[in-house]
């Protein structure tokens, strides 16, 4: 099929590339001419495993094109995906200005029946607003072109997005038009071969499904962080508890890892947006409010442990920090727990030597050059002249370090493990004090 994608961010670029990979003719549109130029040159603006070679090969083979010419891209398409950003407003609601701007652009250039697909994460009722915006532009032109609006939310995990698109758990389609349903079924047929993955529903249910999925996963994370904090108070080890409850198939092991809170472009924004939607319809969602409140508090957990260990005397100290991205296999630092930690350490007068396999460039973009932050090229470089090691992201490269080497480099011989990736006994056997999340230790001691 001939497909046009509005937006070359995370969702748009992955969607367009994967659709091109199975033989569709895809055009990706963006208003950012510099980004389009970089994409044409094979430069990928995000880090996502497996994406770059697919972009380059499909662009070279003519299946994937990039342009700023919206009118030509609309004329090209049988199906148009809207995959632009929906950043949060100050009140927590999703900002739909970019989505509706694209809808008006489509309405101003549409010349034949086209299926318009909302791929962006949007509040319930957005498809109606998109439909109205397109219809208004068509009416202003005196045009009677037919079109359909479909909701097809994305369920891509950063760090595994290509695999998630190529082998989806489910393909949610919200539509009322049989004509549109058949078009989208055909488009997704290559991803729906060995068993039925398409879940058909009405548009509003599809819009809510995306928010409900992210809110459920965020709830599991916040719940486990609450349990971890309780475990610490009562002297239990949350890792034993996690295995105990995860073995129950009604609960499972996914998303029950305690830590220092969730971040990224989805969970924080979507929980707030769903809570705002509930309020806008006269309903107070106490669960969603609690999920967000727990997560906000948990992002300060590591700093609290550091401050307690050093009796709040952090002025002039240096801390090694492993991990800056909000999760492994991405360079995304949006609402990353590391941001709250960095600010707290700096406000206390400390310096930070940090290492992340992918997020150093993004960190420089956010903070610029500053004397209390040194970004290192290798993990052990961060330990040089450091008082303690803090682990904020569970990259694989951090999972099996040389603890004796760490002990020999740190001034205070203490590790603060924000992701519980180490066994306390192993760390302590190397002569290091260990602090984890909910490990039943109100005060850590070296072995």
As annotated, the active-site residues are: 266
Closest CA to 203 of 119, 274, 86, 125: 125
Are the beta carbons of 424 and 434 closer than 8 angstroms?
Answer: yes
Question: Of 263, 283, 249, which is closest to residue 418 (Cα–Cα)?
Answer: 263
443 half-sphere exposure, CB direction, 13 A CA radius: 4
Characterise 322 by phi-psi region: left (phi > 0), alpha (psi -120 to 50), beta (else). beta
Q: How far apart are CA 13 and CA 165, in angstroms?
A: 12
255 with 265: CB under 8 angstroms?
no
Whether 145 and 112 have beta carbons less than 8 Å apart is answered as: yes
Q: How far apart are CA 250 and CA 236, in angstroms?
A: 23
Alpha-carbon distance values, 107 to 138, 144, 250 (Å): 5, 11, 47
**Spatial distance between the Cα atoms of 90 and 187, rounded to a whole number of angstroms:** 37
Buried b / exposed e across 323-347, counting CB within 10 Å, b at 16+?
bbbbbbbbbbbbbbbbbbbbebbbe
CB 41 within 8 A of CB 56: no
Distance of alpha carbon 335 from alpha carbon 351, whole angstroms: 21
């Amino acid at each position: 099929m001939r497909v046009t994608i509005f937006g070359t961010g995370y969702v748009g670029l992955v969607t367009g590339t994967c659709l091109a990979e199975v033989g569709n003719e895809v055009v990706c549109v963006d208003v950012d001419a510099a980004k389009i130029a970089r994409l044409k040159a094979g430069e990928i603006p995000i880090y996502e495993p497996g994406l770059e070679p697919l972009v380059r090969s499909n662009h070279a083979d003519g299946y994937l094109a990039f342009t700023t010419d919206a009118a030509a891209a609309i004329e090209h398409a049988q199906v148009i995906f809207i995959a632009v950003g929906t950043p949060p407003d100050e009140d927590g609601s999703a900002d739909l200005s970019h989505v509706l701007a694209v809808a008006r652009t489509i309405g101003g250039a549409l010349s034949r029946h086209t299926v318009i697909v909302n791929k962006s994460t949007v509040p319930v009722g957005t498809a109606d607003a998109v439909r109205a915006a397109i219809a208004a532009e068509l009416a202003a032109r005196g045009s009677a072109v037919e079109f359909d609006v479909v909701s097809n939310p994305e369920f891509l995990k950063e760090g595994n997005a290509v695999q998630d698109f190529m082998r989806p758990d489910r393909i949610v389609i919200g539509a009322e038009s049989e004509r549109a349903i058949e078009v989208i079924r055909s488009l997704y047929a290559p991803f729906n071969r060995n068993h039925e993955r398409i879940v058909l529903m009405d548009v509003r249910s599809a819009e809510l499904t995306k928010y409900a999925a992210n809110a459920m996963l965020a709830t599991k994370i916040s719940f486990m962080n609450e349990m971890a904090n309780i475990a610490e108070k009562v002297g239990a080890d949350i890792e034993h508890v996690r295995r105990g409850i995860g073995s129950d198939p009604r609960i499972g092991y996914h998303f029950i890892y305690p830590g220092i809170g969730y971040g990224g472009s989805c969970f924080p924004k979507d929980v707030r947006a769903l809570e705002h939607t509930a309020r806008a319809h006269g309903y107070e969602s106490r669960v969603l409010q609690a999920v967000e409140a727990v997560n906000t508090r948990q992002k300060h957990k590591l700093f609290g442990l550091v401050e307690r260990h050093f009796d709040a005397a952090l002025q002039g100290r240096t801390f090694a920090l492993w991990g800056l991205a909000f999760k492994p296999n991405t360079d995304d630092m949006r609402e990353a727990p590391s941001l709250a930690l960095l600010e707290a350490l700096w406000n206390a007068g400390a310096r930070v030597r940090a290492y992340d396999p992918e997020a150093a460039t993004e960190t420089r973009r956010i903070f610029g050059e500053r004397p209390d932050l040194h970004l290192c090229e290798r993990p052990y470089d961060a330990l040089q002249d450091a008082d303690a090691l803090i682990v904020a992201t569970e990259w694989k490269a951090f999972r099996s370090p040389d603890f004796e080497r760490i002990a020999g480099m740190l001034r205070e011989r203490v590790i603060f493990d924000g992701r519980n990736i180490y066994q306390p006994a192993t760390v302590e056997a190397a002569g290091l004090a260990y602090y984890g999340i909910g490990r039943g230790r109100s005060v850590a001691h070296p072995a």
